[in-house]
Amino acid sequence: MAAEQDPEGRAAARPLLTDLYQATMALGYWRAGRARDAAEFELFFRRCPFGGAFTLAAGLRDCVRFLRAFRLRDADVQFLASVLPPDTDPAFFEHLRALDCSEVTVRALPEGSLAFPGVPLLQVSGPLLVVQLLETPLLCLVSYASLVATNAARLRLIAGPEKRLLEMGLRRAQGPDGGLTASTYSYLGGFDSSSNVLAGQLRGVPVAGTLAHSFVTSFSGSEVPPDPMLVPAAGEGPGVDLAAKAQVWLEHVCAHLGLGVQEPHPGERAAFVAYALAFPRAFQGLLDSYSVWRSGLPNFLAVALALGELGYRAVGVRLDSGDLLQQAQEIRKVFRAASAQFQVPWLESVPIAVSNNIDEEALARLAQELVAVGGQPRMKLTEDPEKQTLPGSKAAFRLLGSDGSLLMDVLQLAEEPAPQAGQELRVWPPGAQEPCTVRPAQVEPLLRLCLQQGQLCEPLPSLAESRALAQLSLSQLSPEHRRLRSPAQYQVVLSERLQALVNSLRAGPSP
Amino acid sequence: MAAEQDPEGRAAARPLLTDLYQATMALGYWRAGRARDAAEFELFFRRCPFGGAFTLAAGLRDCVRFLRAFRLRDADVQFLASVLPPDTDPAFFEHLRALDCSEVTVRALPEGSLAFPGVPLLQVSGPLLVVQLLETPLLCLVSYASLVATNAARLRLIAGPEKRLLEMGLRRAQGPDGGLTASTYSYLGGFDSSSNVLAGQLRGVPVAGTLAHSFVTSFSGSEVPPDPMLVPAAGEGPGVDLAAKAQVWLEHVCAHLGLGVQEPHPGERAAFVAYALAFPRAFQGLLDSYSVWRSGLPNFLAVALALGELGYRAVGVRLDSGDLLQQAQEIRKVFRAASAQFQVPWLESVPIAVSNNIDEEALARLAQELVAVGGQPRMKLTEDPEKQTLPGSKAAFRLLGSDGSLLMDVLQLAEEPAPQAGQELRVWPPGAQEPCTVRPAQVEPLLRLCLQQGQLCEPLPSLAESRALAQLSLSQLSPEHRRLRSPAQYQVVLSERLQALVNSLRAGPSP
């Protein structure tokens, strides 16, 4: 697996990836003499997506990359000048040319940690004008990444820790980098790998894939490979004609299954042999190009048993249509019987992978039976990040019980002292008429200083480290909050002082 | 508006933006001696999205850009070598290094033309190995672009030709280029403009935008602008203190509306003044930061009337929450009454824009009343591009009636003569037991030669030209096919020879 690397500046969103009104407002602020006013905005969401009670925070690495590279080039400023009023003061454009994030400070939930409604994922502070320009790109980078990571985490929870989950949604993604983002953050959220090669190259996501129906159907069976010989796995002994050996095995297999030896499609078998010649240690059969039972399965068994004679073990089969669960169960029975019949123990446990529109419901049925599943994560943009409505600059803490489980998150004013472990704390649940009392066994500050005056405060974790944090975080969540359907809502409460400030603002008309 | 320009190679999807199985299959073909076999694949879809009966073909420009630049760099080949078996023949990687699209030929539906189920959007032919590697990126580039363009076309049909439609979905897009793609193809499908500045800079999409709630709420009313003076629109006469003039107008407006002069929020008014100072010719009031009726509307009227005195006309108001239609209708009444009261005729027809989750249903309600609407296009990935299942290389023609309306599309074998205008033709509708007869007044070939042996055959149309073609194409569609709900299905029929070939393949088992 390649190390994660900066993809030559490409993954950094460009400064003009922003809504025009951010630029018009920038001019408005500048004209009002407020360009350098101190400002802060918080990025949070109001509801968790997919009807769940948790969200994974993700996208921070892309935000940091974007902020550190943020600089309007001449061409950018010229373009803005072309869409702003022609009599705009040239000094405004000089101001834009000099902008960077050297005065911007960012606090953030670490990538892969749990985020709950109302708790900021990002706090961005700095001069008003530059902070305004950053809002749209940061929203764009965080919203989708968190959504995809959360979706992946839910599928991982359904599948359990052992099943292999492969993301393969590229062909339906929102354009090239839509796919890159989805693959990256599906991995962060708990998938094992992606079909997207670019995500492997640029982000270090493990990649996986074998063959498609088009490969199988492109063979007629009359092809003559230039070199049909395969050397045994041990590397010793003469090469063997794999196609010929598979043909011998086919007769045994068909006799065992009660099929005529002419029934399995010769083109499919030729495709399997071609693939096995190229990948003798990673042969997977795609079973449903023709008939699973009369063609795909016997052809797979013939080639897999031929490979097995040479010391190679097939890595599995894949189903891409029909009733996946029922077929998988029947295929397992066939493998067991063939394993006994041919005295080949490993055949019994050959992995069965399934794909094709696997959503949470389908996965829940499949997870009991199968070793590997792949498919396009279903995504629905239901979260709604909006700007701060609670007043003032805030701090956020997570309270844990003595068993390490999460109790609640507390929002308070930035200047308040942090809650102390073992000490009683009075807090206000949302909408409550009275405060309640909690005594946390542990207290974790949630927002970490990430960029200070444009400087990175600590190295970013690798994608794999963030992925591990995501799984750790989920394990700390109690089952009633982790439940995917009708979960209990995790509480985000306000400190007494923050609640008092909210009440005072509500009481009187603010002007 | 900037001319469309090639965005420095960035918009070109990279060669490794592909599923890994395309690379493993490439190795399989190579090992089987089939790398240079002649191959063709067609990209089409089975159902139109959103329950409609039409799709707009889009994404071709990105495909062409991708194909012309397609070349595996050393780093790409090295990455593939790192994920393929270590004993893979080095000659395979030499083969990859030499690959380009110089032997690839592409036929395509022109960008912006109507596409129907089963009719290829793209036909790609060339050596098997390279064509296989191209499949995923081309699917990725065409599927989403066509989906977004179709969505935009539907909203345009609802809104009618005159209303202004602004796309502003960037913050919820699938990462940076997801947003760029969505903005580009929303414009192609019929939107007027986008909030996405980068789409303006890189693709020449007209950009639009004014101000957000955060701008309004960031002002308290105590700010002192460095230069509060505004010179009259005619450019003659001394500057006028706009804030002071708005304050005078506020008293008249409040008296007229029966409001206390203290009720409208002074910070909102200061924000409007600041924005008007920066954009005197493009002042738009965002009305719902506080109360539309007691604050937003009177503040807007005060600033707009002050501007009007200086010879500037406000360009409109925007509503972003609540019952948009009802509020818009009441605001129009207020504008009419104030126009009469203050003897300011232009005030009567100030445009009212609305935003906030405008979907087809909401737009249908709004379209009767309003001049401009903006919002995030709702997108749902429901199309399902799959590989060719009809045999052989095909040609496609569109048959038109004497009034220029579309009758049906015909698929036939590539070697058949084209249908002739005025001549009777026997064709097979899908699933029909007998052929039917049609006599087209006009016949249009659908697939245009786009790339021949890697060379562009004709210059690509500009985005605006494709946008115009989309609107022209839609106007040729009969109302029953254009209808957005429960439309009549447009017929795609087979020629007699193609139908006969299909029947013969169905009759006998293919091996």
**What's the average model confidence in pLDDT over B244-271?**
96
Question: How far is A215 from B330, CA to CA, in rounded Å?
Answer: 63
Strand-pairing partners, residue A41, are: A124
Pick B21's closest partner by Cβ from A25, A210, A266. Answer: A210
8 Å CB contact of B21 and A209 = yes
Q: What is the DSSP string of A378-433?
A: P-------B---S-S-EEEEEEE-TTS-EEEEEEEETTSPPP-TTS-EEEE-TT-S
8 Å CB contact of B207 and A20 = yes
8 Å CB contact of B225 and A31 = yes
What 8-state DSSP symbol labels residue B44? B
Between the alpha carbon of residue A106 and those of residues A101, A122, A445, A457, the distances in Å are 10, 7, 15, 10
For residues A504 and A445, which has the higher predicted lDDT (pLDDT)? A445
Pick A265's closest partner by Cβ from B25, B39, B511. Answer: B511
- Write down the pLDDT at residue B12: 55
- Are A107 and A123 in contact by the 8 Å Cβ rule? The answer is yes
Strand, coil or helix: A4? coil
Residue of B nearest to A38 (CA): B218
pLDDT digits (tens, 9 = 90+) for A442-486: 999 999 999 999 899 999 999 999 999 999 999 999 999 998 888
Q: Check pLDDT > 90 for residue B225.
A: no
- Does the CB of B179 have a partner CB in chain A at under 8 Å? yes
| Residues of chain A contacting residue B225, judged by C-beta atoms under 8 Å apart | 31-33
Distance from CA of A316 to the nearest CA of B (A): 15
Q: Which A-chain residues 403-442 have CB contacts (< 8 A) with chain B?
A: none
Strand-pairing partners, residue A196, are: B19
For residues A130 and A504, which has the higher predicted lDDT (pLDDT)? A130
Distance from CA of A440 to the nearest CA of B (A): 36
Question: How far is A204 from A200, CA to CA, in rounded Å?
Answer: 5
Which residues have a Cβ under 8 Å from the Cβ of A505 and sit 6 or more positions away?
Answer: A391
**A175 token code pair:** 């354009």
8 Å CB contact of B214 and A132 = yes
Strand-pairing partners, residue B127, are: B38
Strand, coil or helix: B257? helix
| Residues of chain A contacting residue B80, judged by C-beta atoms under 8 Å apart | 197
Burial state string for A111-141 with b = 16 or more CB within 10 A and e = fewer than 16 = bbbbbbbbbbbbbbbbbbbbbbbbbbbbbbb
Question: pLDDT band at B391, cuts 50/70/90?
Answer: low
Distance from CA of A160 to the nearest CA of B (A): 25
| Residues of chain B contacting residue A196, judged by C-beta atoms under 8 Å apart | 17-20
| Rounded CA Rg of chain B | 29
Pick A136's closest partner by Cβ from B27, B171, B267. Answer: B171
**What's the average model confidence in pLDDT over B456-471?**
92
| Residues of chain A contacting residue B180, judged by C-beta atoms under 8 Å apart | 17, 175, 177
- Name residue, tokens 């950018």: A76
Question: pLDDT band at B11, cuts 50/70/90?
Answer: very low
Q: Check pLDDT > 60 for residue B510.
A: no
Q: Check pLDDT > 90 for residue A300.
A: yes
- Can you give the pTM of this predicted structure? 0.84
Residue of A nearest to B134 (CA): A171
8 Å CB contact of A198 and B18 = yes
Q: Which B-chain residues 88-147 have CB contacts (< 8 A) with chain A?
A: 88, 128, 132, 135-137, 139-141, 143-145
| Rounded CA Rg of chain A | 28
Cα A8 from chain centroid (whole Å) = 22
Residue of A nearest to B79 (CA): A201
Distance from CA of B388 to the nearest CA of A (A): 9
- Does the CB of B444 have a partner CB in chain A at under 8 Å? no
8 Å CB contact of A175 and B174 = yes
Q: Percentage of chain A with pLDDT > 70? A: 90
- Write down the pLDDT at residue B387: 32
Question: How far is A212 from A238, CA to CA, in rounded Å?
Answer: 31
Residue of B nearest to A88 (CA): B278
Which residues have a Cβ under 8 Å from the Cβ of B150 and sit 6 or more positions away?
Answer: B48, B49, B50, B52, B54, B55, B56, B189
- Name residue, tokens 């414009």: B187
- Write down the pLDDT at residue B390: 61
Q: Check pLDDT > 60 for residue B2.
A: no
8 Å CB contact of B208 and A20 = yes
For residues B365 and B387, which has the higher predicted lDDT (pLDDT)? B365
Torsional sign, CA B195, B197, B202, B205: positive
| Residues of chain B contacting residue A210, judged by C-beta atoms under 8 Å apart | 21, 24
Q: What share of chain B is helix, strand, coil (3-state, %, to 5)?
A: 40, 15, 40
8 Å CB contact of A211 and B265 = no
Question: pLDDT band at A16, cuts 50/70/90?
Answer: confident
Q: Counting beta carbons within 10 angstroms of the beta carbon of residue B260, is it exposed (0 to 12), middle (13 to 18) or buried (19 or more)?
A: exposed
Strand-pairing partners, residue B358, are: none
**What's the average model confidence in pLDDT over A9-22?**
73
A interface mutation test: which of B4, B5, B31, B386 has the most A CBs within 10 A? B31
- Does the CB of A207 have a partner CB in chain B at under 8 Å? yes
**What's the average model confidence in pLDDT over B115-139?**
89
**A301 token code pair:** 């068994």
**A463 token code pair:** 């994608």
Distance from CA of B4 to the nearest CA of A (A): 12
Residue of B nearest to A80 (CA): B197
Choose the weakest-confidence range: B114-123, B228-237, B281-290, B359-368: B359-368
pLDDT digits (tens, 9 = 90+) for A28-58: 899 889 899 888 888 888 888 888 999 999 9
For residues B460 and A368, which has the higher predicted lDDT (pLDDT)? B460
Q: Percentage of chain B with pLDDT > 90? A: 56
Choose the weakest-confidence range: A165-179, B99-113, B159-173, B195-209: A165-179
| Residues of chain A contacting residue B19, judged by C-beta atoms under 8 Å apart | 168, 170-171, 195-197, 209
- Write down the pLDDT at residue A396: 94
Question: How far is B486 from A422, CA to CA, in rounded Å?
Answer: 63
Pick B176's closest partner by Cβ from A20, A140, A195. Answer: A140
pLDDT digits (tens, 9 = 90+) for B305-349: 999 999 999 999 999 888 888 999 999 999 999 999 999 999 999
For residues A373 and A397, which has the higher predicted lDDT (pLDDT)? A397
- Name residue, tokens 């009726």: B293
B100: nearest Cα among B66, B123, B75: B66
Residue type, A76: D
Burial state string for A61-73 with b = 16 or more CB within 10 A and e = fewer than 16 = bbbbbbbbbbebe
pLDDT digits (tens, 9 = 90+) for A224-267: 888 889 999 998 889 999 999 999 999 999 999 999 999 999 99
pLDDT digits (tens, 9 = 90+) for A102-143: 999 999 999 999 999 888 899 999 999 999 889 888 888 898
The mean pLDDT value of chain A amounts to 86
- Does the CB of A32 have a partner CB in chain B at under 8 Å? yes
Question: How far is B496 from B476, CA to CA, in rounded Å?
Answer: 27
Starting at the edge strand that comes first in sequence, how are the strands of the sheet with B122-127 ordered? B38-43, B122-127, B105-108, B448-452, B455-456
Residue of A nearest to B377 (CA): A381
Distance from CA of A206 to the nearest CA of B (A): 9
Angle at A41 between CA B175 and CA A445, to 5 degrees: 95
The mean pLDDT value of chain B amounts to 86
| Residues of chain B contacting residue A275, judged by C-beta atoms under 8 Å apart | 24-25, 28
Among left, alpha and beta (phi > 0; psi -120 to 50; other), residue B109 is beta
- Are A429 and A91 in contact by the 8 Å Cβ rule? The answer is no
**What's the average model confidence in pLDDT over A5-14?**
51
Residue of B nearest to A235 (CA): B87
- Does the CB of B278 have a partner CB in chain A at under 8 Å? yes
Strands B122-127, B38-43: pairing is antiparallel
- Are A184 and A203 in contact by the 8 Å Cβ rule? The answer is yes
Q: Check pLDDT > 80 for residue A509.
A: no
Residue of B nearest to A174 (CA): B178
**What's the average model confidence in pLDDT over A408-418?**
93
Question: How far is A359 from A228, CA to CA, in rounded Å?
Answer: 41
Question: pLDDT band at B280, cuts 50/70/90?
Answer: very high
Cα B83 from chain centroid (whole Å) = 37
Strand, coil or helix: B84? coil
What ipTM is given for this predicted complex? 0.80
- Write down the pLDDT at residue A360: 79
Q: Percentage of chain A with pLDDT > 90? A: 56
Pick B195's closest partner by Cβ from A21, A195, A266. Answer: A21
- Write down the pLDDT at residue B376: 39
**A411 token code pair:** 């929002």
- Are B134 and B71 in contact by the 8 Å Cβ rule? The answer is no
Question: pLDDT band at A370, cuts 50/70/90?
Answer: low
Q: Any idea how long chain B is?
A: 511
Pick A381's closest partner by Cβ from B172, B277, B278. Answer: B172
Between the alpha carbon of residue B163 and those of residues A245, B192, B365, B367, the distances in Å are 70, 9, 13, 8
- Write down the pLDDT at residue B389: 52
Pick B21's closest partner by Cβ from A88, A139, A195. Answer: A195
Q: Check pLDDT > 70 for residue A369.
A: no
| Residues of chain A contacting residue B29, judged by C-beta atoms under 8 Å apart | 215, 218, 274
Question: How far is A309 from A304, CA to CA, in rounded Å?
Answer: 9
- Are B29 and A226 in contact by the 8 Å Cβ rule? The answer is no
- Are A341 and A256 in contact by the 8 Å Cβ rule? The answer is yes
Choose the weakest-confidence range: A195-199, A479-483, B372-376: B372-376
**A249 token code pair:** 């095995």
**What's the average model confidence in pLDDT over B360-373?**
62
8 Å CB contact of A182 and B176 = no
Q: Check pLDDT > 80 for residue B382.
A: no
Residue of B nearest to A266 (CA): B511
B interface mutation test: which of A17, A216, A388 has the most B CBs within 10 A? A17
**B98 token code pair:** 């030499």
Strand, coil or helix: A114? strand
**B377 token code pair:** 């296009």
Strand-pairing partners, residue A76, are: none
Distance from CA of B168 to the nearest CA of A (A): 7
Q: Counting beta carbons within 10 angstroms of the beta carbon of residue B284, is it exposed (0 to 12), middle (13 to 18) or buried (19 or more)?
A: buried
- Does the CB of A210 have a partner CB in chain B at under 8 Å? yes
